[in-house]
Amino acid sequence: MTICRSIRSIIWQRRFRHSFITTPIFYANSAPHIGHLYSAVIADAAHRWEILKAPNELHQFTTGTDEHGSKIERAATSASLTPIEHCDKVTAQFRALFEAFDISYTDYIRTTEERHKRAVREFWARLSKAGHLYKGKYSGWYSVIDECFYKDSEVEKIRSLDGKESSVAKETRNPVEWVDEENYMFRLSDFKEKTKKILESTEVITPTHFKPLAIRELDACGDLSVSRDSTRLKWGIPVPDDPSQRVYVWLDALINYLTVNGFPDKMQFPAPTCQIIGKDILRFHTAYWFAFLQALNLPLPERLFVHGHWLVNNVKMSKSLGNVVDPMEIAGLLSNDGLRYFLLKQGVPTDDCNFMKLKAIELINSDLVNTIGNLLQRSTIPKLNPAQVYPIFDAKKVPSNCAQLAKELINDLGTLSNRVRTHYDELYFYRGIEILLNIVRKTNAFFQEAQPWKLSDQEEILTVLAVSYETLRITAILLSPIVPKFSAHTLSRLSIKPNEANLQEAHFRGIGCFGGKLGSEKEPFLNRIKPNN
């Protein structure tokens, strides 16, 4: 069955080269921070990259907000709002964030929408009909902050300074409370072996670095409580035919990936091609999600891309420490594309990453302003290019002192997109970006060596400019998934039309390809950021 499904999925992939990328849906309890933006920016870059590779195919990219549960209910109460008023407010903040950072989602799902509630009810009914649910007594720990059940072995006692004892989850250090209730259990144990085989024998989890963690977490799972007593959890979707129970928020939330695909009606895609998640929610997306899908005979996602967390000056972000970085605020200093760039260049998915303002400023200044921005500014000044044209490259007119460098550059530009592609396909964006930066650095060295401002032969000057513009053009195309506005500005200055900014054009075109007038915007897109701004 599974083999048939995967063959079907491979055939589908080959035929359509579609993509369906998801972010987790974000808790609507408080305003977004840079960690949330990171998940969204990786997904957005992946989506833009898929479009660049196959512009005429179908590309779905979904995100949204996770709006049910005690955590949201409590946040609303402390803000003196009703839960839905609170969700409306936080959702508006996420949407504003995504707009500001060019997160080009194709669908935004809120779990409070009717289309989603319908999907959850239908999913539940199918689980129940197929015998995967039973009513049982759940006694154990629950953390409202994590919205997660914990076993005894996953909890420990701590003593506060005033001598009071309380219990916390070992992994997250969040408080847990003892729960004794009658609710619906899902026979997750029936799927553990199958899921384990999938995790072990496929590359569904990338980076594979996270495989052992996923397997450990799966091993620790038993049957799962999938509902909560409605006297404890009011703000949730009622269990069909049993209003005394509410659907467990993780089951509710995971189903969003089906709702956006059309479930319970005809689904547009077999399954997501890539789901982006932080390492803290791996257990929910492997042990739980894979079991739910198998229970209904639905295809699994082709890939889960897991990323580490952002710390701030090496400390975990938390409201109580007051070190949460607001992306909108910090973008006032770094610019929106600057922050996108920093997150994707500094963000190494396998590790936790460290946010330091000075480091971010340094990186943006050195890469976007000094390396790329500077090459664009110095090579387009009217003094060197009075006619303001995109010149034609003439191999016979390469100044002799930099002929070797020019040859190397032209070769490098020929293979650039393939080299970058290897890393972007893996969503190791920082590696692809480094390759791009290296070629721009090399072109700056070439420009310096050629000294076009000292040349008297106009055709030689134009040939030096042509090599520089070609580097900038190809780099800007390949950077467009990372920094869309910065790239668009560079391409517009070079007078490259949007329909020419695609992967097929991302190689050295040689003589006679362009030759049009440059764009009129002479100001740099980004100015050097001063640390004390």
48 binds ligand MSP (CB under 6 A): no
Using CB under 6 A, which of the segments 136-144, 249-257, 385-393, 517-525 binds ligand MSP? 249-257
Question: Smallest gap, in angstroms, from Cβ of residue 261 to ligand MSP?
Answer: 14
Toward ligand MSP, which CB reaches closer, 267 or 503? 267
Toward ligand MSP, which CB reaches closer, 321 or 403? 321
Using CB under 6 A, which of the segments 20-28, 175-183, 220-228, 357-365 binds ligand MSP? 20-28
Toward ligand MSP, which CB reaches closer, 309 or 442? 309
Tell me the C-alpha distance between 367 and 434, whole Å. 10
> Between residue 264 and residue 293, which ones bind ligand MSP under the rule CB under 6 A?
277-278, 280-281
Question: Smallest gap, in angstroms, from Cβ of residue 33 to ligand MSP?
Answer: 7
61 binds ligand MSP (CB under 6 A): no
Q: How far is CA 200 from the centre of its chain?
A: 25
Torsion of CA 311, 314, 319, 320, to 10 degrees: 150
Q: Dihedral sign, CA of 478, 479, 482, 488?
A: negative
Question: Smallest gap, in angstroms, from Cβ of residue 243 to ligand MSP?
Answer: 24
Q: Using DSSP, state whether 57 is helix, strand or coil.
A: coil
66 binds ligand MSP (CB under 6 A): yes
36 binds ligand MSP (CB under 6 A): yes
In 67-129 the beta strands, taken as DSSP E runs, fall at: 107-110
Torsion of CA 441, 443, 446, 451, to 10 degrees: -100
In 133-287 the beta strands, taken as DSSP E runs, fall at: 133-143, 148-150, 155-159, 165-169, 177-186, 205-206, 224-225, 227-229, 238-239, 242-247, 274-278
24 binds ligand MSP (CB under 6 A): yes
64 binds ligand MSP (CB under 6 A): no
Toward ligand MSP, which CB reaches closer, 304 or 437? 304
86 binds ligand MSP (CB under 6 A): no
Q: Are 440 and 371 in contact (CB under 8 A)?
A: yes
Q: Which of 19, 20, 21, 38 binds ligand MSP (CB under 6 A)?
A: 38
27 binds ligand MSP (CB under 6 A): yes
309 binds ligand MSP (CB under 6 A): yes
317 binds ligand MSP (CB under 6 A): yes
Please classify residue 135 by burial: count the beta carbons closer than 10 Å to its beta carbon, then call 0-12 exposed, 13-18 middle and 19+ buried. exposed
Q: Which long-range contacts (CB under 8 A, 24 or more apart) does 13-16 make?
A: 13/273, 13/302, 16/57, 16/58
Exposure string over 244-264, b if 16+ CB within 10 A, otherwise e: ebbbbbbbbbbbbbbbbbebb
Q: Containing H/E element for 334?
A: helix 327-334
Question: Smallest gap, in angstroms, from Cβ of residue 15 to ligand MSP?
Answer: 29
Residue facing ligand MSP at closest CB distance: 278
Size of the site for ligand MSP (CB under 6 A): 19
Tell me the C-alpha distance between 74 and 83, whole Å. 8
Tell me the C-alpha distance between 507 and 518, whole Å. 19
Question: Smallest gap, in angstroms, from Cβ of residue 85 to ligand MSP?
Answer: 19
Residues pairing with 224 in the sheet: 186
254 binds ligand MSP (CB under 6 A): yes
Toward ligand MSP, which CB reaches closer, 148 or 420? 148
43 binds ligand MSP (CB under 6 A): no
Question: Smallest gap, in angstroms, from Cβ of residue 324 to ligand MSP?
Answer: 9
Using CB under 6 A, which of the segments 19-27, 76-84, 266-274, 441-449 binds ligand MSP? 19-27
CB atoms within 10 A of CB 206: 18
253 binds ligand MSP (CB under 6 A): yes
25 binds ligand MSP (CB under 6 A): yes
224 binds ligand MSP (CB under 6 A): no
Using CB under 6 A, which of the segments 253-261, 406-414, 461-469, 490-498 binds ligand MSP? 253-261
310 binds ligand MSP (CB under 6 A): yes
Q: Are 278 and 309 in contact (CB under 8 A)?
A: yes
Question: Smallest gap, in angstroms, from Cβ of residue 196 to ligand MSP?
Answer: 21
Q: How far is CA 292 from the centre of its chain?
A: 24
Tell me the C-alpha distance between 172 and 27, whole Å. 16
26 binds ligand MSP (CB under 6 A): yes
Task: Compose the 409-448 pattern: x for residues touching ligand MSP by CB under 6 A, - for all others.
Answer: ----------------------------------------
21 binds ligand MSP (CB under 6 A): no
Q: Are 43 and 23 in contact (CB under 8 A)?
A: yes
- Residue 522 to residues 172, 381, 459, Cα–Cα distance (Å): 50, 8, 23
Instruction: Give the residues lining the site for ligand MSP (CB under 6 A).
Output: 24-27, 35-36, 38-39, 66, 253-254, 256, 277-278, 280-281, 309-310, 317
